[in-house]
């Protein structure tokens, strides 16, 4: 997918944000009400459907405020502090019904798009994970919605809304955040260069040097390990929604090079925020 700009955001990103919000809303609107759908557990999570949807509504509102340039303190950027901020926000927000939350999610996604158009494309906006350009912030919003949208679809037995085109649009955020969410005790003492390629799409490089991790937009010339992975599997692994070995066993990810055994270890270098 070409990385050109239509207006403020890269081509396809605004459409992906709108479409993902509407897909999530469709999943929530089909939930049986008032039969307690909001109390259904979300797999691999401590939240219910109602709590996860409420978090999405709150997060989309937060993103819209950030796009407007408002200061919204929300933890210190570490996964633990973000989790604490999420719980505090949920405790102060009572709505758990899927229907009303569906409308909030789409409305706040639209508000983000309206507000971001007035920003300087080369300027930076403060976010819980550090300063970001409007384009990267839009990629952040899309990534966040896809992760929790996947959770909601799985919990309610509906098709998820992840596809290769949408995953490619998450790469600006994923590349930006990887150094911030690297696990210090895991990368300590490791020196390795990875080439990560999305099957049918772009790739990037990751270099780890004894406790420091750097992400490059270009693939390295002589990586220690090359990883070829299906786009949807890449995002689900990156967000901690699936485990590496089932992805590898099903042929959705391949690793080769001088040190191919590093491929299953790669997802463990990071802790999803």
Mean pLDDT computed over every residue of the chain:
93
Tally Cβ neighbours within 10 Å of residue 148: 22
At 132-155, the pLDDT tens digits run 999 999 999 999 999 999 999 999
CA pair distance 28, 7, nearest whole angstrom: 31
- The mean pLDDT value for 124-139 works out to 95
Query: With b meaning 16 or more CB within 10 Å and e meaning fewer, what string describes 130-140?
Result: eebbbbbbbbb
Asked, colleague to colleague, whether 5-177 and 182-269 share their fold, the answer is no
Q: Where residue 78 falls among pLDDT bands split at 50, 70, 90?
A: confident
Domain segments of the chain: what residues?
5-177, 182-269
What pLDDT score does 35 carry?
A: 57
Burial class (CB in 10 A: 0-12, 13-18, 19+), 78: middle
Kindly tell me if the per-residue pLDDT of 3 is higher than 50: no
Candidate from 73-82, 103-112, 170-179, 239-248 with smallest mean pLDDT: 73-82
Kindly tell me if the per-residue pLDDT of 47 is higher than 60: yes
Tally Cβ neighbours within 10 Å of residue 239: 20
Q: Where residue 212 falls among pLDDT bands split at 50, 70, 90?
A: very high
- Phi and psi torsions of 32, nearest 5°: -65, 125
CATH topology of domain 182-269: Nonspecific Lipid-transfer Protein; Chain A (3.30.1050)
What pLDDT score does 5 carry?
A: 40
Q: What would you measure as the largest C-alpha separation in the chain, in angstroms?
A: 57
| Domain at 5-177: CATH architecture | Up-down Bundle (1.20)
Candidate from 3-12, 53-62, 137-146 with smallest mean pLDDT: 3-12
Structure tokens at 1: 């997918």
Identify which has the larger pLDDT, 51 or 77. Answer: 51
Per DSSP, what are the bridge partners of residue 132? 125
- Phi and psi torsions of 272, nearest 5°: -60, 135
The number of residues in the chain equals 273
Kindly tell me if the per-residue pLDDT of 1 is higher than 60: no
Kindly tell me if the per-residue pLDDT of 273 is higher than 80: no
Kindly tell me if the per-residue pLDDT of 91 is higher than 60: yes
CA pair distance 110, 199, nearest whole angstrom: 31
Query: With b meaning 16 or more CB within 10 Å and e meaning fewer, what string describes 171-201?
Result: bbbbbbbbeebbeeebbeeeebbbbbbbbeb
CA pair distance 33, 29, nearest whole angstrom: 9
What pLDDT score does 37 carry?
A: 73
At 176-191, the pLDDT tens digits run 999 999 999 999 999 9
Q: Where residue 4 falls among pLDDT bands split at 50, 70, 90?
A: very low
What pLDDT score does 138 carry?
A: 98
């Amino acid at each position: 997918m070409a990385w050109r700009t239509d207006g403020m955001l890269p081509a396809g990103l605004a459409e992906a944000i709108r479409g993902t919000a509407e897909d999530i809303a469709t999943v929530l609107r089909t939930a049986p009400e008032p039969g307690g759908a909001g109390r259904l557990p979300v797999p691999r999570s401590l939240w219910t459907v109602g709590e996860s949807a409420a978090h999405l509504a709150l997060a989309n509102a937060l993103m819209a405020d950030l796009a407007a340039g408002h200061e919204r303190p929300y933890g210190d950027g570490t996964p633990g502090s973000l989790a604490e901020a999420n719980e505090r926000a949920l405790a102060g927000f009572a709505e758990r019904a899927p229907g009303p939350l569906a409308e909030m999610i789409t409305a706040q996604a639209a508000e983000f798009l309206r507000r971001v158009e007035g920003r300087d494309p080369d300027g930076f906006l403060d976010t819980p994970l550090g300063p970001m350009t409007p384009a990267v912030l839009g990629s952040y919003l899309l990534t966040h919605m896809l992760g929790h949208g996947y959770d909601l679809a799985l919990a309610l037995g509906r098709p998820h809304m992840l596809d290769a085109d949408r995953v490619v649009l998450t790469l600006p955020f994923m590349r930006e955040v990887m150094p911030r969410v690297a696990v210090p005790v895991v990368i300590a003492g490791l020196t390795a260069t990875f080439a990560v390629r999305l099957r049918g799409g772009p790739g990037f490089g990751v270099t780890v040097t004894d406790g420091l991790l750097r992400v490059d937009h270009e693939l390295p010339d002589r990586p220690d390990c090359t990883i070829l992975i299906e786009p949807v599997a890449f995002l689900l692994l990156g967000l901690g929604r699936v485990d590496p070995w089932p992805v590898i066993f099903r042929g959705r990810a391949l690793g080769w090079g001088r040190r191919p055994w590093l491929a299953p270890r790669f997802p463990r270098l990071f802790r999803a925020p």
